[in-house]
Structure 1
Amino acid sequence: MHGTPVSATPTTPADPFPVRRLRVEVNGASFHVIEQGEGPAVLFCHGFPDTAETWLRQMRAVAEAGYRAIAPDMRGFGRSYAPAGAELYSALHIVGDLVGVLDALDVCSAVVVGHDWGADHAQRAMVLRPDRFRAVVSLGIPFQPRGELSTWDALREQGLGERYYAFGMMKPGAHVSFQPAEKSIPSILYWLSGSPSPDRGWDPVDSSRNMLRPSPVTVPDWADPAYVHHTIRSFDETGFDGGLNHYRGAQATFDLMSAFKGVLIQQPSLYIWGTADGLGKLFHPSPPTREDLLPLAPGLVDVIALEKVGHWPQHEAADRVSSELIKFLRGLDLPQGPA
């Protein structure tokens, strides 16, 4: 293993599955990684605004099931490399990070699990490096192959250029509206979840139902207070600009992936989404079936819809997500050992 341990303190003195904290060098940059368990590798990718800690429930379940769970703080987040230029946040850069993490940990190939932007990057990893990523589980974001229009141009054509939430997040100085983290993180967790009434929850095209409204609770009842505290502390230290660069880098991804236009995900895949997720409602005017999504991902195994769950299924329905993930993993022909 090439990674440098930061800490490997077990959760309890007798814990057979301690969380190991490492700092690894990836293409000349430093990344913070947590891992747990031994066996075939499962690489977890988080989204915005989050860190690797979002996966702790799933990582333990995966470790107990006989797999090696690995989760980096993604580029721009937590204690990992955070370059200033938005052009350095394309999927090609991020997939390079993911391959570099595998290399640093002597992992030949992995199943990749992603949520939010992490799902989008995981899907591009399947397209760009099918030799290193053998299967994918996407939470909240369905796969869309590279087409004729970028995501942002497609939204503009639909008349959403002034309404879709992400356009505001890409503007210079947008990070200021997310400060301080002690207010914005509880707001984002609550309003994007399934906790609010359906007429009050987050709507990505309605500014009156934005994600930064004051939250009525400090910690939602489905969230681990330690996770919320860690996330607040992390963004207090880093700010939000690095995370927002994932939105700004999406156009660069489109521009750089012209050679992959129309390429589908052929490997086994699983899609999990919450029916109360504002993004899900935008992507899915009617609930998608496996048959609906198979033309884009011929290896799709199943579509799991989680009722009354919003944008945070790994927390709001943690046990169900872990169960579906392990079921999916056990259905794959994964080699035992370091590969």
Structure 2
Amino acid sequence: MLQTSGMIGFGLGLSPTFGAASDGGTDLPVRSRMVDAIDGRFHVIEQGEGPAVLFCHGFPDTAEIWRSQMRAVAEAGYRAVAFDMRGYGRSHAPSDPDLYTSLHIVGDLVGVLDALSIDTAVIVGHDWGADHAQRAALMRPDRFRAIASLSIPFAPRGEIDQWQALRDQGLGDTYYAFNLMKSDAEARFAKAAQSIPSILYWLSASPEPAQRWDPADPELHMLRPAPTAVPDWAEPTYVHHTIETFRRTGFRGGLNYYRALPRTFDLMPAYKDAVIRQPALYIWGAADGLCRLFHPETPSLAELREAQPNLVRQVRLEHVGHWVQHEAAERVNAALTDFLSDL
């Protein structure tokens, strides 16, 4: 069952220029809906008509991060769909971390498709959205026919969960995620007017290289005061929307994704060493601290295809950090629409 709040254009307090297409583009309206999925209600935005492309955001964000990509995909003849993931924005937000496993999130993705009467979709994910998009492609290849991962490469389930693997590498006291899993994390993030600009700035390529966020160096953490309220690559209206959203919701839902990862590992032994076989695309920023940790050198296609045999292409974006959708919007949009056209 879905409820429609009507055509909103570039609503939610955002200016008509947010996510604007290049000159000559068609001004396609954006539709906002609340849909009833399997476990709860989710806020969905859509643009365009045609084969579906489902966008999944990460931490700390909302569906609004995808406006530029949605417009580009819609103008290319697709139905672009993004939604506030579980725990974010206007969507279902249980407090229990055990309700944020990949099985729950993939259930949300399938439930949103069902609510919108979409049989299959190409799935696009960034950050935690990429991680769960990958599990969705793995678990439900009947519903997700291709995948694009932004900023997170796919790694099959191994013998131990990712957090334990990092501890075994000696990063138990330094890797950023362990700090985000602590009980006081919500309080440290709570002042959204400070924390959101800090996260956007330090994770991007804007700072000098020696000052950028390093996920394995607590001194270069993401909550350092930012020198600017809005990085020069970010739309002020997007930053304002994100701040106001987290002022209202808090950060518990987003932080629960970190806390739930060991539980996801425990629930997925059947997928040990399983690979993603759908056509795939990997896009990443060369200045992204996470990507530098995952693969200090640029991986070869052969290496990436060990986990995704049908990986079509990887796109390394120079002078771009973690927020590829904004820092390199035109290059990301071109890579996505090229990928879609070749399917």
TM-score by length of 1: 0.96
Following TM superposition, the consecutive aligned residue runs of length 4 or more in structure 1 with deviations greater than 6 angstroms are: none
Partner in structure 1 of residue 20 of structure 2: none
Amino acid at match of 1:310: G
- 1:158-307 maps to which residues of 2 (within 5 A)? 158-307=169-318
Partner in structure 2 of residue 335 of structure 1: none
SS at match of 2:240: helix
Amino acid at match of 1:173: D
Q: Deviations over 1:277-298 (max 9, x none)?
A: 0001101111112122111100
1: distance between equivalents of 2:335 and 2:293? 24
Amino acid at match of 1:20: R
SS at match of 1:49: coil
Q: Deviations over 1:206-228 (max 9, x none)?
A: 11110000000110010011100
- 1:49-68 maps to which residues of 2 (within 5 A)? 49-68=60-79
- 1:112-123 maps to which residues of 2 (within 5 A)? 112-123=123-134
Structure 1 residue 28 displacement after superposition? 4.3
The answer (yes or no) to whether the contact 2:55–2:66 under 8 Å persists in 1 is yes
The answer (yes or no) to whether the contact 2:39–2:108 under 8 Å persists in 1 is no
TM-score by length of 2: 0.95
The answer (yes or no) to whether the contact 2:58–2:128 under 8 Å persists in 1 is yes
2: distance between equivalents of 1:47 and 1:179? 18
2: distance between equivalents of 1:330 and 1:17? 20
SS at match of 2:210: coil
SS at match of 2:211: coil
1: distance between equivalents of 2:316 and 2:62? 24
Amino acid at match of 2:120: S
Amino acid at match of 1:205: A
SS at match of 2:155: coil
Amino acid at match of 2:326: H
**Pairing partner for 1:318 from 304, 316, 329:** 329
Structure 1 residue 10 displacement after superposition? 2.7
The answer (yes or no) to whether the contact 2:26–2:75 under 8 Å persists in 1 is no
Amino acid at match of 1:166: A
1: distance between equivalents of 2:271 and 2:6? 40
2: distance between equivalents of 1:157 and 1:207? 18
Give the unaligned 5+ runs of structure 1.
Answer: 333-339
Partner in structure 1 of residue 106 of structure 2: 95
Structure 1 residue 16 displacement after superposition? 4.4
Give the unaligned 5+ runs of structure 2.
Answer: 11-15, 17-24
2: distance between equivalents of 1:270 and 1:318? 16
User: Alignment identity in percent?
Assistant: 62
Partner in structure 2 of residue 75 of structure 1: 86
What RMSD, in angstroms, separates the aligned Cα atoms of the two structures? Answer: 1.1
2: distance between equivalents of 1:274 and 1:306? 5
- How many equivalent residue pairs? 330
Partner in structure 2 of residue 134 of structure 1: 145
Structure 1 residue 4 displacement after superposition? 1.0
1: distance between equivalents of 2:93 and 2:206? 32
